[in-house]
Every structure is written in C-alpha cells, then in structure tokens.
Amino acid sequence: VQLQASGGGLVQSGGSLRLSCAASGSIFSGNVMGWYRQAPGKQRELVAKITSGGNTNYADSVKGRFTISRDNAKNTVYLQMNSLKPEDTAVYYCNAPRGWYSSTYYARWGQGTLVTVSS
C-alpha cells in the first residue's frame, strides 16, 4: 500500500483526533509529507506539511490547533487535531509532494479518512 490514512471519526466541536498515515518507504523516505483535506463541494486543500528534518507549515485555518509530525523509522506521518470545529469536517488525505511548493505528488491519492465534527 502506498498511502494508508486512518484515525478519522465523529467528534464533537472542541474535541480532538489523531490521524495517522502509513506510507511505503519509497514514497516517505527523505520526502516532504503533507496532510490535505477535501470538504463536500470544495477543492482539496493543504492542511499541513513537514520535511524529513521536521520543518513544518500550516494552513492559516488550522494554525495553533493542528500539529503535524512524522516518525521516519515507521514511515508514518501524523496529524494531531485539537479544538476541532464543524468547518474541519472533510475527508483527510496524506501524500508526498515532489517539493515544498509542488502541486504534483509521488503517490496516487488514497481513500483518505473521514473526519466529521458535530456542533
């Protein structure tokens, strides 16, 4: 499996979830990894990204609430989501962009994991 995202679910507003994404070594190793989301009727957007060395960047809408991290030994990237809001409801995906600013990716998009935040 190239990318396998998990950890989504139904949570109340203000709650927390931790997403995980296991990746094939050929995709994960040495590459930027990102979390993306797509809400119903909207385009997929970047949520957060992280370099192999741990440098991070976040969308303004999640700064201070979400934390991206990675375990290079396990080829896994995580997204800790706190203070969730109904507008965070979306399918969340992980992928490896071909560069920090790239919009092309090393892997096909997986099925993602659904996060639903109730008000």
In order of 66, 98, 105, the CA distances from 27 in angstroms are: 23, 10, 9
7 exposure class (CB count in 10 Å sphere: 0-12, 13-18, 19+): middle
CB environment 47-65: b (16+ within 10 A), e (fewer):
bbbbeeeeeeebeeebeee
Tell me the sheet residues that pair with 80.
18, 67
The average pLDDT across 99-111 equals 93
- CA dist 2 and 64 (Å) reads 30
The average pLDDT across 2-22 equals 97
* Eight-class DSSP state of 31: S
Residue 54, Ramachandran bin (φ over 0: left; ψ between -120 and 50: alpha; else beta): left
Give me 111's structure tokens. Answer: 């099925």
Share of the chain above pLDDT 90, in %: 97
What local confidence, expressed as pLDDT, does residue 37 receive? 98
Angle at 15 between CA 1 and CA 33, to 5 degrees: 30
Give me 6's structure tokens. Answer: 């998990």
Q: What is the DSSP string of 83-99?
A: S--GGG-EEEEEE-BSS
What local confidence, expressed as pLDDT, does residue 112 receive? 96
What local confidence, expressed as pLDDT, does residue 29 receive? 92
pLDDT, one tens digit per residue, over 18-70 is 999 999 999 999 999 999 999 999 999 999 999 999 999 999 999 999 999 99
pLDDT, one tens digit per residue, over 63-92 is 999 999 999 999 999 999 999 999 999 999
Residue 1 has pLDDT above 90, yes or no: no
